[in-house]
Structure 1
């Protein structure tokens, strides 16, 4: 998977690239194809702001995290993306997507 990483404030070192790629590898466990993931690293005051977008079939995931430590921000970003991806992958299994079962008269009488 090819991840685009951009930053205007720091140079992207091999260690930073490896950390981001390892977080995205964990996302591949859900076996949902990530389309053109893009990570942006910015600095606001003393904190690093890390944003990521990744396309999935018929949707787009977006997350951002902020922390004084860049690696902590990358970890939090990965966790947020993982929660979104879990929701996306489990959506067909959710209760709200199932059709409700009609109540028969015999069941309705027992409830009274």
Structure 2
């Protein structure tokens, strides 16, 4: 999986890239395809702000984390994405399709 990583403040070293890729590898355990994952690293004051956006079928995951330590921010971001992905994976397929059904369809069944 190729992950787009951008940063204007921090030089992207192999260690930073490896940490981000390892966090996204943990997301692949759910066997859900991540579409165009993108990570942005910024620095606001003394803290690092790390944002990630990845598409999943019929939805988009977005998370951001802020911490003084870049690696801690990346770990926190990974945890947030894991929680979102597990909620997405555990949501029943029927619940996803009935949310888009019109109320008229629901009343006709009675």
- TM-score class, shorter-chain normalisation, is 0.7 to 0.9
For residues 36 and 13 of structure 1, what CA distance do their matches in structure 2 show? 21
Long gaps (5+) in structure 2 = 96-110
User: What is the aligned partner in structure 1 of residue 51 from structure 2?
Assistant: 51
Q: If the length of structure 1 is used for normalisation, what is the TM-score?
A: 0.83
**1:93 Cα deviation from its structure 2 partner:** 7.1
Structure 1's unaligned 5+ residue stretches are 98-112
Instruction: State the alpha-carbon separation in 1 of the partners of residues 8 and 69 from structure 2.
Output: 17
Larger gyration radius, structure 1 or structure 2: 1
CA displacement, residues 5-62 of structure 1 (integer Å, 9 cap, x when unaligned): 0001011000000000000000000000000000000000000000000000000000
Is 1:89 matched up with 2:89? yes
1:21 lines up with 2:21 in the alignment? yes
In the alignment, structure 1 residue 33 sits paired with structure 2 residue 33: yes
> 1: distance between equivalents of 2:92 and 2:33?
16
SS in 1 for 2:40: strand
Cα 1:93/1:55, change in 2 over 3 Å: closer
Alignment root-mean-square deviation, CA: 1.5
Point out 4+ residue stretches in structure 1 off by more than 3 angstroms. none
Distance 1:15 1:32 in 2: 26
SS of corresponding position for 1:12: coil
